[in-house]
Structure 1
Amino acid sequence: MTGPISDVSVRVAWADDAAAIADLQLRAWRQQYAGVLPPDALPAADTAAAAWQQSLARPGDARNRVLVALERNRVVGFAITCPAGDPDSDPASDAELMEFTVDPDELRRGHGSRLLQAAVDTMRADRFQRAVLWVGSTADELRTFLEGAGWAPDGAHRELDATVPGSATVRQVRLHTALA
């Protein structure tokens, strides 16, 4: 006899998920960018939820997708896939995993693996051949997870002014993987 099986899944996000995604994103960003961004640099929860609501209701491209990882009916992670926008990318064959976030309180429970596999499957279904993802240069745990799943640095890096230019810089490296 086996014990109870957790009700976990990944699906395409609905507009009704906007508030939950915004809440998760803001909590994750507060932790991820602590000491880098001033507390007032992040939008208010209602502003973020409204932006998510609009984005989910009217995606700019049919290949812009938001996936949510669920435990029961609670959003515990999300991923955004879209055509890659980097100047050295081909938006017809290169996808970008624009954001990959798992609730910090839900790590190491399989949600990230399920979400990453669903995102890769989605990009493949959209006929992309390669995927890229920008990660913080100090996000060692995320990089280790992604590298274990077959992603690798491709040598590209960038620095982003996160608030007022010059006040906070976020350094990122680009990872990539073949989808074929």
Structure 2
Amino acid sequence: MPTADVSARPAVLGDEHAFAAIQLAAWRETLGDEAVDALDADEVRDTWGAAIESPPTRDDRMFAACDGPRVVGFAAMTAAGDIIALEVAPEHRRMGHGSRLMAACVDTLRIRNAPVVRAWALEGDEAREAFLQTAGLGEGGVRRTLEGPHGDLVERLWRAEV
């Protein structure tokens, strides 16, 4: 029986095109069409390209989730263990790509003997909160407020020991 060619691998230049499309699709779901339409998609793409080519620190990591040769998701993680992005294209969700990306992040942190992994979820984003909980993270007891296109966005911290 053939199996699907699915994987998570380190990001490489060229992945930024898929990363931007996936990020914008995710933001469209959470922030709305008007907010995303106001963004410069080329700038989003170029920002991810710059992060791949020249990460802020040598220990920051980015991973791509692949379904065959196609990039269908990505994760970005700081050296301190903060997952600053973890997104999967809507049509590829619930196929294990997010779990592979989370495992790549956690495995990297374990190799570094890092004590903790952290991620943020918008309050009310039940799908992301359920994913983080299933991945073994628990609420961290911290909330932060960010300025959004239509007012404040409140996020909750999720964390786990590595």
TM-score tier after normalising by the smaller chain length: over 0.9
Is the Cα contact below 8 Å between 1:81 and 1:123 reproduced in 2? no
**Secondary structure of the equivalent of 2:7?**
strand
Q: Which residue of 2 aligns with 1:124?
A: 110
TM-score, reference length from structure 1: 0.84
Counterpart code for 2:9? R
Structure 1 residue ranges without an equivalent (≥5): 85-94
* Structure 1 counterpart of 2:154: 171
Residue 114, structure 1, aligned to residue 70, structure 2: no
- Structure 1 or 2, whichever has the larger Rg, is 1
How far 1:83 sits from its partner (Å)?
Answer: 3.2
Aligned CA-pair RMSD = 1.6
Q: Does 1:160 align with 2:146?
A: yes
The residue matched to 2:104 in structure 1 has which SS? helix
Matched residues in 2 for 1:32 and 1:132: separation? 20
Q: TM-score, normalised by structure 2?
A: 0.93
Say whether the 8 Å CA contact 2:28–2:35 is kept in structure 1: no
Q: 1:64 aligns with which of 47, 60, 63?
A: 60
Equivalent residue, structure 2, for 1:90? none
119-128 or 147-156, which moves further after superposition? 119-128
Q: Quote the offset at 1:127 in angstroms.
A: 2.6
1:38 aligns with 2:38: no
Q: Number of aligned residue pairs: give it.
A: 162
Deviations 1:138-162, CA, capped at 9 Å, x for gaps: 1111111211221000110011012
- TM superposition shift of 1:177: 0.4
Of 83, 103, 108, which aligns to 1:97? 83
Preserved CA contact (<8 Å) 1:79 1:98? yes
Identity of aligned residues (%): 31
SS at match of 1:38: helix
Q: Which amino acid aligns with 1:175?
A: W
* Distance in 1 of aligned mates of 2:96 and 2:69: 16
Counterpart-to-counterpart distance in 2, 1:172 and 1:118: 23
**Is 1:148 paired with 2:146?**
no
Instruction: Report the Cα offset of residue 38 of structure 1.
Output: 2.9
